[in-house]
Structure 1
């Protein structure tokens, strides 16, 4: 077990800034290690990015809609003396996704290997089905090589990468490029997209992303996708309830505005906009990097400026009808592919032939909408405001209409007329919420911003300040921000991390069932 740096001096009372998934995970792991914890949250409820909008009888998840690796939730809850089974009612989605393509074909993505092999055999033939089996085996090996040593691990320098797992990952081709590596198993362009589009979550096109980021495809297509009854916001509610029961002080409506330092420069208290002062021995900041840097009063020195991930244009639509062709999650791919990533990451233009994620949560939990109504989230990746400084106040209405027309053309007939409630979210809205460059996906996972090269959670020059969240290690996504909270706690407690997450069995939760979809 390697030794990593930790906060020095007393750490009896820790203030966590932010009650998002990272902050709540951190709080639970700190509580489990015997620390006293106060969580200060600027909003009126827990969740951070994983928030909720309640309006007109709708409960709308305003952040992530895809839940994978729920065992990491169980680990955080267990640290606070609770469990996933007690706190959440999870549904395992089957299919995890439905993928629809420009040629009119569709492929259901199953985490069960036999069902997925049969699906691929039926749409792409026996050779591709055999390639899927080889790919699945490779994905499992990539996951095992990474989880313990690279994802669920603190680093003080690149030397921390050295070890047997690094050699295993290299031997697996993890330092090559994702797109070509997936292509070595599968030749059907539709299947290549299904197993490589996830790199967009990391802010890099598949052709340029490290093959190691196939670990995200493992989480989606092998470990499985889940949905909590009550919506994704049920996750932070469960974590906050468990933290409060374990003794954390959760204070909402407390926007942190400054850190008070003692004579040595050590942070001794946190001050809030309402004039409050909370003494502390250590601080964990989970705000996005620009806000964290403002609190610290400085930006860490980097040889290369941070590069931000693409952003997202969101439509939250309440409708008076549903479309049977939609699964809980439907990937609607355009004909374009490489040019799409060029537009998002280099040209700074909206997608000319968009690939979209359409989530229909009321297919699994009808209670999220009023009786007779249905909820749809349409996520269109778009450039961040640094890559594409688009005037969204002027552009958003027309872009919204173009997406609705495109979805109608792709089979959601009458969508525009069926909308009875809507909310539009643009990069300008993400920027107003404090997200760097107007993206909720924070810093991209380029090679120079991955692992020990990503902004570290132990801040240089700060004796008792730690960072958590998607801008620091290990990175973007629900599983990784939960891990980031645990790693931040370990920087304070000196505790060791678990040996890596396991996949939650099918009977986890209070009545797990497969999603009933056609």
Structure 2
């Protein structure tokens, strides 16, 4: 049985109005709790923030939305609906993959469309292999979601159930790269279904095959974009929470927690004392442990995921070969992961994610202008350049990135930039993220499931953790689940999946209308 906070839990203070904190807030409100949300920034979002720069509306955090039903589940807890508050657009293709040999592949989440694209790209045998891979990914997802992701663990013994054997039978404890290779022989295709391991902070050659569940979310379940940008999601969640009775306090930093024995009795901010019966803490782990005045004992120090350099560029032109999301792969692969996770060097032949949100929502930029987001994975500050060195290194790396983009067909990109923002590991470090990475602790075997930092705190009976540093882990879907799991520890309600979700057909219809509008808009 899952441990539940003992005693009164009538009033809960949630520290942080990011996706995890807002998810926890909505689930707590739905269970009849009074909730106060305290956020240091001027607006909700946390990592999913917004930067307004010269008329460009820039998402500062995640750019990929998958599994929107998990967000809708939080809205449904208070009788609300994600789909009534946010216009979601299904992306077709979900990604465009561009390879060093000049070949391109559009990644579709529809089975028939993707099989046809794979056959065009690599032949009929690979198309058949893709369909077998798709079935395996779906089976893997079903087993993991119900028993390993959307669940609270109290000890490693919680793993001992029938689905552990099912996961083993599916090959979940083998290596990701090798397992994908059983279905696909083309090395380029294998990259498309294994690069997601980088989100988990582990190279595909060393990652467990179980992490292919992330590829399921990206390549099978569908990729979406909220009109108005990704920040529209936390903004809508905050509006729903406010309408349901939550007190939202922005621009107010938490400085300490007041304690009586094993209970937190109040949250202290820069200007107030807020009494509480329980608290949900969503900042990055170092900040959370500092507030608690203690950290859990671990036999081995936490290993962190690689970081990233992000260039946000508002431009006076765009490049037609870019989709909404474009994966630009270098020729190197295994060596790239060694640089990111072992040697601590910047990628010598980078693989990049280029997002062009104005391809779907032109209103994110001034008329006739375009917004580009270039993400280059880089080593975290534990193994790579220190945060202090990025003041000098950042501009040089920006220049090398732009030169590389020019070589890859984005001719004239530097001259096209009107507004820009460069984010480096120093930026993440300044925001309080351990090891200068927004991707938190890596999902190694002993930092996953019951071995990941728990959402309960030893010696503090009414404090819960939520966010990417705790269970289930990194990524928008799992962060939303972390808020729900933390709430369930307070309310005693078992975490279970909502059944009320919008049909895929309805979302696809919205996407079709958006595609027509986008095609008719002037370039």
For the aligned pair, the TM-score class normalised by the smaller chain equals over 0.9
DSSP 3-state at the match of 1:464: strand
Shift of 1:502: 9.0
Partners in 2 of 1:254 and 1:282 — Cα distance? 19
Correspondence for 1:300 = 296
Q: Is the 8 A contact 2:73 2:498 kept in 1?
A: no
DSSP 3-state at the match of 1:29: helix
Shift of 1:505: 2.8
Can you list the C-alpha shifts for 1:352-384, whole angstroms capped at 9, x where unaligned? 000000000000000000011100000000000
Can you list the C-alpha shifts for 1:7-41, whole angstroms capped at 9, x where unaligned? 11100000000000000000000000000000000
Moved more, 324-333 or 405-414: 405-414
Correspondence for 2:277 = 281
Correspondence for 2:269 = 272
Correspondence for 1:245 = 243
Can you list the C-alpha shifts for 1:211-268, whole angstroms capped at 9, x where unaligned? 0000000000000100000000000001000000000000001110100012x23110
Q: Is the 8 A contact 2:332 2:349 kept in 1?
A: yes
Correspondence for 1:76 = 74
- Unaligned segments of structure 1, at least 5 residues: none
Correspondence for 1:489 = 487
In the alignment, structure 1 residue 183 sits paired with structure 2 residue 181: yes
In the alignment, structure 1 residue 334 sits paired with structure 2 residue 367: no
Correspondence for 2:191 = 193
Partners in 1 of 2:462 and 2:507 — Cα distance? 37
DSSP 3-state at the match of 1:463: strand
In the alignment, structure 1 residue 360 sits paired with structure 2 residue 356: yes
Call closer, same or farther: CA 1:502–1:324 in 2, change over 3 Å: farther
Partners in 2 of 1:190 and 1:184 — Cα distance? 14
2:375 to 374, 379, 382: 379
Correspondence for 1:498 = 496
Correspondence for 2:96 = 98
Q: Is the 8 A contact 1:355 1:380 kept in 2?
A: yes
- The equivalences for 1:436-455 within 5 A come to 436-455=434-453
Shift of 1:316: 0.1
Shift of 1:509: 5.9
Number of paired residues? 514
Partners in 1 of 2:333 and 2:247 — Cα distance? 48
Partners in 2 of 1:389 and 1:504 — Cα distance? 45
Partners in 1 of 2:257 and 2:509 — Cα distance? 44
Q: Is the 8 A contact 1:65 1:359 kept in 2?
A: yes
In the alignment, structure 1 residue 291 sits paired with structure 2 residue 287: yes
DSSP 3-state at the match of 2:461: coil
Moved over 2 A (4+): 499-512, 514-518
Shift of 1:498: 1.5
Correspondence for 1:150 = 148
Can you list the C-alpha shifts for 1:133-161, whole angstroms capped at 9, x where unaligned? 00000000000010011100000001111
Correspondence for 1:461 = 459
Shift of 1:185: 0.5
Q: Is the 8 A contact 2:17 2:46 kept in 1?
A: yes
DSSP 3-state at the match of 1:358: strand
Partners in 2 of 1:123 and 1:507 — Cα distance? 27
DSSP 3-state at the match of 1:208: coil
DSSP 3-state at the match of 1:327: coil
Partners in 2 of 1:206 and 1:508 — Cα distance? 35
- Unaligned segments of structure 2, at least 5 residues: none
Partners in 2 of 1:87 and 1:407 — Cα distance? 37
Partners in 1 of 2:378 and 2:448 — Cα distance? 22
Shift of 1:347: 0.7
What is the TM-score with the length of structure 1 in the denominator?
0.97
What is the TM-score with the length of structure 2 in the denominator?
0.97
Shift of 1:173: 0.3
Correspondence for 1:164 = 162
Moved more, 18-27 or 495-504: 495-504
Partners in 2 of 1:272 and 1:368 — Cα distance? 34
Q: Is the 8 A contact 2:262 2:459 kept in 1?
A: no
In the alignment, structure 1 residue 66 sits paired with structure 2 residue 40: no
DSSP 3-state at the match of 1:437: helix
Q: Is the 8 A contact 2:89 2:508 kept in 1?
A: no
Shift of 1:84: 1.6
Partners in 2 of 1:354 and 1:108 — Cα distance? 20
Call closer, same or farther: CA 1:446–1:110 in 2, change over 3 Å: same
Q: Is the 8 A contact 2:109 2:222 kept in 1?
A: yes
Shift of 1:510: 11
Q: Is the 8 A contact 1:26 1:488 kept in 2?
A: yes
DSSP 3-state at the match of 2:366: coil
Taking only aligned residues, the RMSD between alpha carbons, in angstroms, comes to 1.3
